[in-house]
Amino acid sequence: MSIAAQEHLIRPARNVYGSLRLPGDKSISHRYAMLAAFAEGESHFTNFSTGADCASTLACMQALGAKVNRTADATEITGVAGRVTPADQPLDCGNSGSTMRMISGLLAAQPGRFTLIGDESLSRRPMERIRKPLQAMGARLTLTDGHAPLTIEGAPLTAIDFTPPVASAQVKTCLLLAGLQCEGTTTVREAVRTRDHSELALRAFGANLTRSIGSVSIAGPQSLHAIDAAVPGDISSAAFFMCAAALFPESNLVFDHLGLNPTRAGLLDVLTALGAHIAVLNLEERNAELVGTVRVSAPPEGLRSTAITGALAAQLIDELPVLAAIGPYTSGGIRIRDARELRVKESDRIALAVKNLRAMGAEVEEFDDGLDVPGGQSLHGATIDSGGDHRIAMAFAVAALRAQGDTLIRGAESAAISFPEFFDLLDLIADR
């Protein structure tokens, strides 16, 4: 999907409040779409992600033979019952690393030759991390200088026991989807527990897998069966508004039907450490995913300081840009380390966070694997270079709410990758 370049002007706010129900989680929507498209039968989803990334996954699965019907209220997917149709065109994954890495695992065990392409940003992202293990299982993957375009020649696979060198839920999922289809038990080990939506979703679609501390195993081959599900609201989208609320002493924001999977909810701990008031209500489980209501308000005395390192940095990787962006407004600053992966996301998010913080007048120190943002600083409005990266555009729109003067976000259209409603909802909750 190509979206015209846009700029968005953000005026400072006096407060942030309101009550929101957010579109479905991007990570869960990708998985539900892939598994439903691969399963037997017709699955029905409500609150499916509205982001362009998940539309890329749906389009790829359609090109592989699944039937997709999207209405305003529901997304219906009829699956291929375990056997995809070889696509005659390259599969376009758009901006979505999740689509490319996870679908590769599905296709590695399918007969045929598949080509996967992506936009300029995705074509720079490392794909060796999936080529190695899939090749060890018996598929043949050809990359272009370590990146997309990539071609997969599917083959009957052999199970493996693999520890990805970098913590990655996408790589774990890729291997579980390959393992689902091959004889024997595939085990993925991880030192840091990455988001576990694939494990929960595979079980919801009827697969058996075994989990223990530090590993997950799947014994193949197994088949999947259609489900009906409501996708929980996206906590990584909520993160922008939660951080906005944390900046204003009179704020009060409520999110209902929000995904609160413990492998995704680390931000609530970080905001609590910073002094924000967080209340979680009405917790329930839907298809093994925790869902609930969250209320966020700011401490009258302002935010304190915190450090995000080690496993927490890996688990909070998508939330780090917005945490860096609010760092100047804390009293003691925000320190981020062990987050080298930020450099190979949709953009080099460390470099762009540093550049844009400096453009707004902040002092910041850059490290190879993170950044130090001292607290007690005031920022001024500036022109922000989002680098076409949705999370950078949204993070600096949040920083702009407390700046002196207006801020222009360049490449604001990129928000639609995960959260097309972002700027409208920001206007709704920001009191000016």
Annotated catalytic residue: which of 25, 53, 234, 318? 318
Closer by beta carbon to ligand S3P, 173 or else 181: 173
Pairing of strands 333-336, 305-308: parallel
Closer by beta carbon to ligand S3P, 98 or else 407: 98
Q: Residue 219, SS3?
A: strand
Residue in 241, 243, 267 with CA at minimum distance from that of residue 422: 241
Write out the DSSP string of 245-292.
HTT-TT-EEEEEEEE--TTTTHHHHHHHHTT-EEEEEEEEEETTEEEE
Residues that bind ligand S3P (CB under 6 A): 27, 30, 98, 168-170, 173, 195, 317-318, 341
318 annotated active-site: yes
- Please report how close the Cβ of residue 173 comes to ligand S3P at its closest, in angstroms: 6
Closer by beta carbon to ligand S3P, 133 or else 381: 133
- Please report how close the Cβ of residue 126 comes to ligand S3P at its closest, in angstroms: 9
104 CB neighbour count, 10 Å cutoff = 29
Closer by beta carbon to ligand S3P, 27 or else 386: 27
Tell me how far apart the alpha carbons of residues 328 and 307 are, in angstroms, rounded to a whole number: 14
- Please report how close the Cβ of residue 171 comes to ligand S3P at its closest, in angstroms: 6
- Please report how close the Cβ of residue 92 comes to ligand S3P at its closest, in angstroms: 18
Tell me how far apart the alpha carbons of residues 392 and 409 are, in angstroms, rounded to a whole number: 9
Q: Which residues of 297-328 are buried (b: 16+ CB within 10 A; e: fewer)?
A: bbeeebbebbbbeeebbbbbbbbbbbbbbbbb
Closer by beta carbon to ligand S3P, 193 or else 195: 195
Residue in 174, 169, 123, 165 with CA at minimum distance from that of residue 144: 123
Tell me how far apart the alpha carbons of residues 282 and 22 are, in angstroms, rounded to a whole number: 16
Pair of tokens at residue 150: 């990539």
State residue 287 phi and psi, 5-degree precision. 50, 40
- Please report how close the Cβ of residue 288 comes to ligand S3P at its closest, in angstroms: 16
Residues labelled catalytic: 318
